[in-house]
Amino acid sequence: MSGKKYSDAVKKFDRDAQFTPTEALAKVKSMANAKFDETVEIAMRLGVDPRKAEQMVRGTVALPSGTGKDVRVAVFASGEAAEAARAAGAEFVGAEDLAAEIEKGNMNFDVAIATPDLMPLVGRLGRVLGPRGLMPNPKTGTVTHDVARAVAEFKGGKVEYRTDRYGNVHVPLGKVSFEPEALEANFRAVIDELQRAKPAAAKGRYLRKITVCSTMGPGVKVDPSRLRPELPTG
């Protein structure tokens, strides 16, 4: 989006105002005018100290409306598991050969999954996969014996989330072209999942700031106290 389009969008609303999820997502859709189908994302500041292991918030959430993105999956597996991964639609399947490709810098995938027996091999790729957030992990269901199920879930709208060093979590909610109800269903799924994953050690208000935006658009603030009556924010 050009600078003028962005500044025009910003003028359309009070940047400091807080909205209900429905209102905020409607504003994001109305201000998205790039020439491509922008991704809608939610960013949340959580009341946690991510430097403490017990307050690290990490996991996966299944977006009921999907992501609107064609998710490419790499699977470290051999034998029957490799065949199952291919049958489930994984784009890249292998063991030593897949590791060699990744070491060369060929990483044209969005999710990496591995069977437990191949984790020693995958561990050698930590320097490459780790910084990109692609390292398979049992907590996110990406280290599993049932690779076919994992492939299907991630292609069907399952996404990973984790707090960054500042306690922020970013999760895609779909595309601007989605119906408002579809975006809101994904929004609710993310909020519900983060509430479920709240660490026992987290003190004070948990959902501190919530913002939604499109790829090229300004952020719109969501009022944490107006998510919905039955959902506590503390």
Label residue 105 left, alpha or beta by phi (over 0 means left) and psi (-120 to 50 means alpha).
left
pLDDT tens by residue, 124-182: 999 999 998 899 999 889 999 999 999 999 999 999 999 999 999 999 999 999 999 99
Strands in 39-46's sheet, in edge-to-edge order, are 18-19, 220-222, 207-214, 39-46, 168-175
Identify the domain boundary among 100, 130, 155: 155
Domain for residue 16, yes or no?
yes
Residue 132: partners with Cβ closer than 8 Å, 6 or more residues away: 107
82 plus 150 within the same structural domain: yes
| Distance between CA atoms of residues 43 and 34, nearest Å | 20
- Number of domains comprising the chain: 2
Whole-prediction pTM: 0.83
Report pLDDT for 172.
94
* CATH number for 104: 3.40.50.790
52 in the same domain as 151: no
Tell me what pLDDT residue 1 has: 45
Question: Residue 3 pLDDT > 90, yes or no?
Answer: no
Per-residue pLDDT tens digits for 50-99: 889 899 998 999 999 999 999 999 999 999 999 999 999 999 999 999 99
